Structure 1
Amino acid sequence: MKDMGTDYYNRPDWFKCLLLQRKYLVKYGGAIYGESSYRCLEKHFLSSPEYSLIDIINRIRGSKQSLKLLWLKLLEVNLFETATQFEIPIYFIEGRYDYNAPSLIASKYYESIKAPTKELIWFENSAHFPQWEEPKKFHSVLKEKIIKETYA
């Protein structure tokens, strides 16, 4: 990790470096709270009636393809400069231990925005995937906050 530096995205092998960085992010719990791999998510996909085996394979391929095609463009986006005023309610659902989309940065961004209604909802036992890490709370938030207020 030290050898690739913090500006690895300027290197010709940037994608290889990104995958290495993501590997360690997962290994040390920055993607799934208290877990060191994505294996614990497999049950959600395998037991879901919405996903076939080919859908699961394509989801993995799609994630990798999205990283490869969109990552460098994503690095150019600065929401603090381009998206701070909203005319709709804004809800942030954040895992406290998320280091994919770091919770500290998400919190700072939340503080910088203006909206008619805004709320930051913390999931204290989650990282990047509160929908699977704390599914009961996640569904409750969707029903009580978002669906109820959207259709009120």
Structure 2
Amino acid sequence: MRKLLGAIAAVIASVTAPAVAQTEDAYAPARAIVADIGKIVTPNGVQETFEATLGGARQVVNVRGADKDNPLLIFVHGGPGAVEMPFAWAFQRPWEDVFTVVHYDQRGAGRSYPLNDPATLAPTMTPDRYRDDAIELIELLKKRYGKRKVVLMGHSWGSIVGLSVAVKRPDLLYAYVGVGQGIDFREGEKAGMAWTRARALAAGNKEAVQAIDALAPYPQGEFTIAKADGWRKYAIPYGSLIYNKPDLKYYFQTPHLSPEYGPADIQAWGKGSEFSVTTLWPRLADVSFKPVRKMDVPLVFLLGRHDYTVPSPVAAEWFGKVQAPSKTLVWLEHSAHMPMVEEPGIFFAALLRDVLPLAKDKP
């Protein structure tokens, strides 16, 4: 895989390369242990994976929970193309005691990537289409599990999809939960570049400073993944993605132990990530929620204090101005862009305290 999104793609390439796949069976015993530990055995539980056709594209959906009567929580993954299904086993199990948790690999991503012809899919990959896919999925899941509404959680790129759903169809949601929340792509890129340049300057990293300066006038003008890669490859070692953890190798090995992902699925993860980000990124340049001043659904933002992959100060500023039936902003002080992984206990406590009470039908 050619280099995309700097250090992230380099690590993805290393763990999805054919040489790794040849030895993939070595992970099978560990996957079996993880599967056994995570198996849902409660009488009213649910543990299933199925295909759904959303907007004409086949997509893989995974549902897990200890009690079908619990509220549905749908997780919209980031990227574009950065699926969370194969990582969820590492942080999600406690959620499943109080929510029925849904992951889906979006069009062109992960296990959904080989189900559709990329040439046919590419023209459909627009922010509005991903929003409408999510709406179709919500409607499908409500009918399948007999629910009135759901909790929608969007992470990173998925937060653009999720917030778009909340704007268009608040009637479908008990609450919207934003994690690594994006608000304005150009403003976010500008803030991330400035933070990275300041860190590099303080560290005496002349190479990084010069490389970032050379990207000008980005994020204005042409909006390409090469430009985005040009500063993120320096930001990630400073902890913009995972706080105080510049080496991401072991985190990106997590899918090898996932009961939901086999060797072929891991290969699809890498190919789908490349396809999704190159296809979709240029179409995101002018996506912005800054004009939105009123929401008709409760909002909960769970933001990493050190997130400069999708800079959290941009999200916090918008959150402070928008009107909503209720608003809760939770800062995770020792997290960057992956707070559910970095501070899983505090993250789960926030779900119990600030999200679960919202997931109730009003008389």
Pairwise CA RMSD of aligned residues? 2.3
Question: Is the alpha carbon distance of 1:22 and 1:138 closer, same or farther for their aligned partners in structure 2, counting shifts above 3 Å?
Answer: same
Would the aligned equivalents of 1:94 and 1:130 in 2 still touch at CA under 8 Å?
A: yes
Alignment of 1:91-110 (within 5 A): 91-110=300-319
Unpaired runs of 5+ residues, structure 1, are none
Instruction: Give the distance between the partners of 2:262 and 2:220, measured in 1 at CA.
Output: 34
1:36-47 matched pairs, under 5 angstroms: 36-47=246-257
| 1:119 partner letter | T
Mapped contact 2:218–2:227 kept (Cα < 8 A):
no
Over 3 Å counting, the alpha-carbon distance change for 1:73 and 1:44 in structure 2 is same
- Cα 1:74–1:35, aligned 2, differ >3 Å: closer, same or farther? same
Kept in 2: contact 1:95–1:130 (CA 8 A): yes
2:218 aligned with 1:7:
yes
The share of aligned pairs that are identical, in percent, is 29
1:26 corresponds in structure 2 to: 236
Aligned partner (choices 287, 293, 297) of residue 77 of structure 1:
287
TM-score, with normalisation over the residues of structure 1? 0.83
CA change 1:64–1:93 in 2 (3 A) is: farther
Asked whether the equivalents of residues 294 and 323 of structure 2 are also in contact (C-alpha less than 8 Å), the reply is yes
Q: How many residues align?
A: 150
Give the distance between the partners of 1:52 and 1:32, measured in 2 at CA: 26
Q: How far apart, in 2, do the equivalents of 1:5 and 1:84 lie?
A: 31
Q: CA deviation at 1:144?
A: 3.0
* Distance verdict in 2 for CA 1:53–1:124, change over 3 Å: farther
Larger Rg: 2
1:111 to 1:35, Cα distance in 2 relative to 1, 3 A: same
Is the strand fraction higher in 1 or 2? 2
Aligned to 1:80, what secondary structure does the other structure show? Answer: coil
Structure 1 residue 136 displacement after superposition = 1.6
Shift of 1:62: 3.3
The whole-number CA distance in structure 1 between the counterparts of 2:301 and 2:327 is 8
Instruction: State TM-score, norm by structure 2.
Output: 0.38
Supply the distance in 1 between the matched residues of 2:260 and 2:245 (Cα, whole angstroms): 25
Please report how far the alpha carbon of residue 3 of structure 1 lies from its aligned counterpart in structure 2 after TM superposition: 1.9
Aligned mates of 1:139, 1:120 — CA distance in 2: 14
Change (3 A) 1:36 1:73: same
Aligned equivalent of 1:124, options 322, 325, 333: 333
Offset, 1:23: 1.5
State the secondary structure of the residue aligned to 2:290: helix
